Amino acid sequence: MSFSFIRRLPMRRSVLLFCLASSLTNWSVANGQEQQPVSVRRPSLETRDATEPTIDLERERLFNELAEEFAAFDRLGNLVRRVSKLVKPSVLHIEAHKTEERGGTRESYDEAGSGVVMRLENDELWVLTNRHVIQGAKPQEILLRASNGNEFHPERVLADSSTDVAVMKISQQSIPAARLGDSSLVDIGEFVIAIGSPFGLSHSVTFGILSAKGRRDLSLGEQKIELQDFFQTDAAINPGNSGGPLLNLRGEVIGLNTAIASSSGGSEGIGFAIPMNMAMKVAEQLVLNGRLRRGYLGVTLDPDFTVADIASAGYGLISGALVKEVRESSPAAAARLQRGDIIVEFNGKTVDNDDHLVTQVGMTSVGDSIPMIILREGKRYRTDVVLTDLK
């Protein structure tokens, strides 16, 4: 990788004054005027003595105001430093050795990423990361490096393709587990910290804000993630940050850094992270069941249906998902859903669109009775559905 830097040198003041003086001289000559010596008038001693104390006092006041503002800013910087120091030991650098067949030949390569250590079932230590970081590599082909330089391999690897979440079991009890935060309580505009290994530079720290929530229609190249509900952040995230933690200023993990939107391949201030509530639910299911037990409703939704369509039907400006088809013997059929129904609430939460409903259903526990609100023929109805397991 190569970097090029362009340094812009400011014009010196003496050069600028020289150019200005030359221009004035040339103008005088061009107008047939004789160049006269320029006299500089300096303030008298009395004037300088009268004004300088006032100027010094004003400068002192400005310096004091600046010091007060810096103290508040420095407290924020100190908070970032303390969070970074506290959480870094819980973040691991990941190198996965992979082999793929391309064009009839087998090619080997290494892929770098990050992971964060959490305590899951039976108080065991597991490393949370993205599936795409370790996909295709066996446990002995995955190298984990702690912040103290220790290297080891995971004992067990489990992954889910629908959410791009993976977990790896480790036995190194000396590595502290990170503290889990409640990602549902995070607001747009909050300060966040990302820790990872951008371009292989392990345990790098970046700082920014949470820019948006509920990003669900992302096209992630060949990587298809069906259940999307991403946080968006402007904290710099680059290749190699995948799987690393997104933190609040309390040092709690609120997200799992996953992807970037970039035309150059580097950070452009648009990064995406899986909310930690979602990532932990997937991780716990992987540890307990070996896979994610996704909820199944049994409907086909219209991806082109919008809020404007609901408004034109006379329901006002509300959001929802339009049912195009109800499958026979499905949970939706048992709940008496019909073609043309608009699902506006699921499990007490507003449905934004079809992608949002798919994610909500997929992340809902199987076997629970879930309330739904639907619109049908100008009226509002409530029904309950018991989701089954999507095999």
> Is the predicted pLDDT of residue 41 greater than 70, yes or no?
no
**Each residue of 279-323: pLDDT tens digit?**
999 999 999 999 999 999 999 999 999 889 888 888 888 899 999
Kindly name the residue from 162, 197, 242, 330 that is annotated as catalytic.
Answer: 242
Question: What is the 3-class SS of 341-388, one letter each residue?
Answer: CEEEEECCEECCCHHHHHHHHHCCCCCCEEEEEEEECCEEEEEEEECE
Q: Give CA angle at 244 (132, 143), nearest 5°.
A: 65
Tell me what pLDDT residue 154 has: 97
pLDDT score of 340 more than 70: yes
Q: Are 363 and 278 in contact (CB under 8 A)?
A: yes
Please state the rounded mean pLDDT for residues 66-86.
85
Q: Is 153 a catalytic residue?
A: no
Quote the pLDDT of residue 1.
38
Rounded mean pLDDT, 86-94: 95
Rounded to two decimals, the pTM is: 0.77
pLDDT of residue 144: 97
Pairing mode of beta strands 252-260, 179-180: parallel
CA atoms of 363 and 375, how far apart (whole Å)? 23
Residue 97 annotated as catalytic:
no
More confident call, 50 vs 125: 125
Choosing from 160, 164, 229, 355, the catalytic residue is 164
How would residue 368 be classed by pLDDT, with cut points 50, 70 and 90? confident
Structural domains present in the chain: 179-289 (2.40.10.10), 294-390 (2.30.42.10)
Buried-state track 343-355, b at ≥16 Cβ within 10 A, e below 16? bbbbbeeebbbbb
132 catalytic residue (yes or no):
yes
**120, amino acid identity:** L
Angle, CA 234 vertex, CA 275 and CA 9 arms, to 5°: 160
Q: What is the pLDDT of residue 217?
A: 78
Q: For residue 26, is pLDDT > 50?
A: no
Catalytic residue, from 90, 114, 132, 162: name it: 132
**Secondary structure class of 53 (helix, strand, coil):** helix
State residue 50's pLDDT score. 55
